[in-house]
Amino acid sequence: MSFNFKASLAAFRQELIAQGHFETGLVEELVANLNDRYDEFLIKGEQPETAFQLARQRVLPAKIDSTASLKKLNKAINRPTGLIGSFFFLLPNFFKIARRQLYRKQLYNAFNFCCLTIGIFTTILAVLYLEYETSYDRFVPNIEQKFRLGRTQRSQDYSIVSFDGFFSATAEQQLHQIEGLQAVSGIVSACQFFIFSEPTYVQINDKRLPATNLLQTNTPKAFFDFFGWKFLTGSLNAFYQSSNTAVLTRRQAERFFGSDWAQKISENQQLILEEEPYQIAGVIEDVAANTHFDFSIALNRPKIDYWGARIYLELLPRTKPEQVLARIDQSMPSINARIAANELYGGSILQPISSIHLDSDILYELKPPGDKRYLYIIGIIAAIILLMTVSNYMNLSIAMNAGRSREIGMRKIFGASPRLISSQFILESVLISWLTIPVVFTALWFVLPRFNQLMGTAIDEQLFSSAIYVFLVVGIASLIGLIASIYPALFLANFSVLALFRNNLTNNTNQFFSTRKLLITFQFMLLIGLCSLTLLINQQLHYIQTKELGFNTEQILYTYLPGDSSSYQLFRDAALQLPAVQAVGSGSTLAGQPYNQTTYKLAGTTEIFDDAYNISMDYQSLALLNIQTSIPELVARPENAPGLLVLINETLVEKLTTYFSISREELIGKTIIEEPEYVDEDSGEVGFPFTITGTFADINMFSLHHQISPTFLSVYRSLPYAYSATIAYQGSQTAEVIAQVKEQYETLFPDRIFEYNFLEENIETLYENEQRIAHLGIYFSFVAFLVAVIGLIALTAYLTTIRRKEIGIRKILGASQWDILRRFNAEYFLLLAIALLLSSPLVWWGINRWLLSFAYRIDISMGVFLMAGFITLVITGLVVSLTALRASNQLPVQALQENQ
Amino acid sequence: MATKTLVAASTKPLVLSILAHGENYGYQIIKEVEQISEGVLQWTDAMLYPVLGRMEKEGLIRSHWVKTEQGRRRKYYRITLLGEENLAQEKQQWLKVNYAFVRLWGLTDTPYSPTKA
């Protein structure tokens, strides 16, 4: 192929232009020169192509390999090469520059410091909380092989396993069930126990104190082996080798024997419980707060005095629980023939121990279970605050460090690689994060006890003494510092040298503008989201707290009685003597946890339903709770009323009238057969029939998470068993009323411990989780706003500082302060509108999922989002205006004189 | 070959001196310097052009584009009044330095002899 001089010359010209550092005139001159040199070499007899190459070399000698020469230089001065080598070599310099930067921009760094402190603190708090909630029962050895056995009865799941006559069964019969389970292939061991939460008097020597959470077991060895309780004194052998023995927890030992209990507990020490002696076999550590149950004294007895027990199973390693479950159901006739024959028995349930706290939703839990949704909410809120912190840092750090473009440019000229420049910025950020650690620790020390109180947790408050926690805090702080700085570091380090020297980066690059706007929009989104989330959670909480429940909740007191009707009568007469007491009744207590439902059918029909609750009350109770019935005249004058009548609630009326297509009037007077599966062996009567005498308005007996179910209300003139008294009182002297009732109670029942609950408090307890989350939501929203406001102040302050000249010129040209403020604010308002549009659907989706867990809930209105947007708008407007106003108050001439 | 320092120091007076003989263009200036220094001074194009640009900015020389008969474009430089003044000063300085060397190395009638202390 022949040499094309013109084309080569054009390529040479292009190459020069592409290099970027030759002006147009110079390019032309060099091209002209190449032409002359080419001619010269042709005259000397060179071939055209060689002549061109030689001429080209003379005009533009080959580039110097700067990297190679730099390496040579580094070697000469004995400087380590490579990123890591260079980083450590330059580390002292980096620190020096970082220190100077911190000192030079004190105010902006203080803003960043505050934001980072809040972000790191919130993250650590959330991590501690999530860690605590997910750490339940982790102390149990071989936890992955351990399960709790539950049972499905009708359409409900139970955490207590029982069989007919468990209470009256012999010790052998109670243990037979456990032995049957142990015989199932795949099960290593089984234990059973029950915990009595009611306070009972325990006597040791001459000390008689009430104790709650007494645990009874008749499988003592298996129980201790299963949970791995360690003895502080005494031994497991002493506990299980003979019956009627007891193990105290440390707290109980301290209560009864004082702090030197170890010396005081003698070998044959006994405790007396309900007149029965127990030999104390030892003391164990208190049950950790993050255990799904709690007990104070474990009692080894031949049998459990309850209608059922809690059964725990350990499976063989690598055994599939589903297979074991199938085998349990198959072997049920040999484990417990009565259960196998029961037509309501719906199979067994195996719950992994580790998931009981967060995943269990079955009847009669030992402790109120946690709620995974709340962990997500707290996690998300903390993540939002963290994201805001990080985006704040990014935003401000880009704006702040944009003024360092010449410094970066100089370093690049002296051979610094972008990575090395990035590491300077990262180091500065990590340094600020580290500086926050003492503040974070102080804040944790102050906040943790309060947080524990608010959230009902027991996070270790002495975490500063634990190396793991210190490591965690330092780790999280470093990580956040790192994350916050990566973007600004890469952004600033990747500019070309020319761009760095040309001008201020904040003014010149469109890309930065869009990034900054993106970050601010993102922050607005988070703010609006968090604000509307908090508003909606509080709205729902307010709704459930103020919703009409169908009964009177104010100034109602429950107290607990021995159970027989004569004790109740005695107590009632005594209580009614008190001036503040208006009425006393008895019956089922309201606002508790759901319990077992019952089966029923309408007489003369075949369809059996299994969703009814059974409650009973006397007429007095019905009257003082103001439950609306179709028999008001009988409620008002119980002396004329029958000894027992049954009312059904509106939900059941609706259900039956719809199902059987009958009218309300036709339904009243019909017979309902409760538990039709039961047939009396002697009389042959099917179930427990009763006549529907009337109806009562729906009442929310449980939390509003639960839909109202069909309910039978048995109304008695005198209840055969009265385990509680319902007292309506008047006046504001609540403490005085309680003291008076207590006095009466203790005179009548000297052996019983006076216990009471307010109905209003019971209702509040139902929403403890929601209350906690709402409180936390408010605190977190406040913190998030604080972070956002700090960020906005800092950013606006910085940007207005940069734009001082612009403000000056605008003022000279006649702009009023209002014009300037409008201009500054307008930029943010558009972003805010975009954020509102983007965040509303997300929050709507999330909160709707949460609301679905309530049977009764608010409708989400757009107003909330607008409100959240408005709050954000007002705060943003205020912050931006005040900061811009400060800058615009300066005399224009001053701003223009400055050499920026 | 001359040292880099010497080349750097002598470029400006050399360019001014060549242009003092009449206007000229880059390639020719390089050639003339080569010739006059008998190959001791070999300038590269990349070195010369920035110098010419700077001198023009300082007002020592002026340039204009000329189209040759072959249709090529060449940038011609010529010395300005300021350039001539500058050259005169430079000449004085270089001559003085030259005279000092000439005396030191005994190439004159009045050679240098160290003063007795």
> For A698-733, what is each residue's pLDDT tens digit?
999 998 888 999 999 999 998 888 889 999 998 878
* Average of per-residue pLDDT across A277-281: 94
Alpha carbon distance A368, A356 (integer Å): 11
Q: Kindly state the greatest CA–CA separation across chain B.
A: 69
pLDDT (0 to 100) of residue A385: 86
Length of chain B: 117
B61 within 8 A of B14, measured Cβ to Cβ: no
3-state helix, strand, coil in chain A (%, to 5): 55, 15, 25
Q: Is B45 in Cβ contact with A59 (below 8 Å)? A: yes
Q: Is the minimum CB–CB distance between A337 and chain B shorter than 8 Å?
A: no
In chain B, the residue whose alpha carbon lies closest to the alpha carbon of A56 is B45
pLDDT of residue A900: 45
Nearest alpha carbon to residue A856 among A531, A545, A532: A545
Average pLDDT, chain A: 86
Top residue of A29, A63, A64 to mutate, by most chain B CBs within 10 Å, is: A29
pLDDT at A511 over 70: no
Please tell me the distance from the alpha carbon of residue A849 to that of residue A694, in angstroms, as a whole number.
38
- Asked if A54 is an interface residue toward chain B (Cβ–Cβ < 8 A), one would say no
Kindly state whether A6 is in contact with chain B, defined as any CB-CB distance less than 8 angstroms: no
User: Is B45 exposed, middle or buried (CB count within 10 Å of its CB: 0-12, 13-18, 19+)?
Assistant: buried
Q: Is A555:A730 a contact under the CB 8 Å cutoff?
A: yes
Does A32 sit within 8 Å of B26, measured CB to CB? yes
Predicted pLDDT at A790? 82
Tell me how far apart the alpha carbons of residues A26 and B46 are, in angstroms, rounded to a whole number.
10
Grouping H, G, I as helix, E, B as strand and the rest as coil, residue A753 is coil
CA angle A156, A162, A167 (to 5 degrees): 135
Q: What would you report as the CA-atom Rg of chain B, rounded to the nearest whole angstrom? A: 17
The pair phi, psi for residue A38, each rounded to 5°, is: -60, -45
Question: In angstroms, what is the C-alpha Rg of chain A?
Answer: 39
| A315-331 per-position pLDDT tens digit | 999 999 999 999 998 99
The residue to which tokens 């403490």 are assigned: A735
CB contact under 8 A, A26 and B25: no
Contact assessment for residue A745 and residue A571, using Cβ atoms and an 8 Å cutoff = yes
Tell me how long chain A is.
Answer: 900
Measured CA angle at A749 (ends A748, A753), to 5 deg: 135
Task: Please give the residue that has the higher pLDDT: either A495 or B83.
Answer: B83
Per-residue pLDDT band for A509 (boundaries 50, 70, 90) equals very low
pLDDT tens digits for range A20-70? 667 777 888 888 888 888 988 999 999 999 999 988 888 876 655 555 655
Q: Tell me which chain A residues have a C-beta less than 8 angstroms from the C-beta of B50.
A: 26
CB atoms within 10 A of CB A190: 22
pLDDT exceeds cutoff 50 at A615: yes
Bridge partners of A271?
Answer: A278
Provide ipTM, 2 decimals. Answer: 0.86
| E strand spans, A487-555 | none
Residue A367 contacts by C-beta under 8 Å, 6 or more apart in sequence? A292, A293, A294, A357
Q: How many CB atoms lie within 10 A of CB A603?
A: 14
Tokens of B34: 């080569």
Band (A354; pLDDT cuts 50, 70, 90): very high
Q: What does the pLDDT read at residue A252?
A: 95
Of B45, B50, B73, the CB nearest to A28: B73
According to the model, what pLDDT value does residue A530 have? 84
Please state, as a whole number, how many other Cβ atoms lie within 10 Å of the Cβ of residue A514: 10
Q: How distant is the alpha carbon of residue A646 from its chain centre?
A: 43
Q: What is the Cα–Cα distance from A606 to A523, expressed in whole angstroms?
A: 62
d(CA A351, CA A353): 6
Spatial contact of A544 and A767, defined as CB atoms under 8 Å apart? yes
Size of interface A-B (CB pairs under 8 A): 37
pTM over 0.95: no
A19 Cβ under 8 Å from any chain B Cβ: no
Tell which residue, A834, A833, A852, has the closest CA to residue A844: A852
Q: What residue of B is the nearest CA neighbor of A39?
A: B27
Does A15 contact chain B (CB < 8 Å)?
no
Q: Does the CB of A26 have a partner CB in chain B at under 8 Å? A: yes
Residue A63 per-residue DSSP state:
P
Residue type, A503: N
For residue A443, the model assigns a pLDDT of: 92
Cα distance between residue A218 and residue A211, in whole Å: 20
pLDDT tens profile A104-146: 888 888 888 888 898 889 888 888 899 999 999 999 999 999 9
Q: Which residues of B touch A (CB under 8 A)?
A: 25-27, 44-46, 49-50, 53, 65, 72-75
Scanning A669-728 for CB atoms below 8 A from B yields none
Does B72 contact A61 at a Cβ distance shorter than 8 Å? no
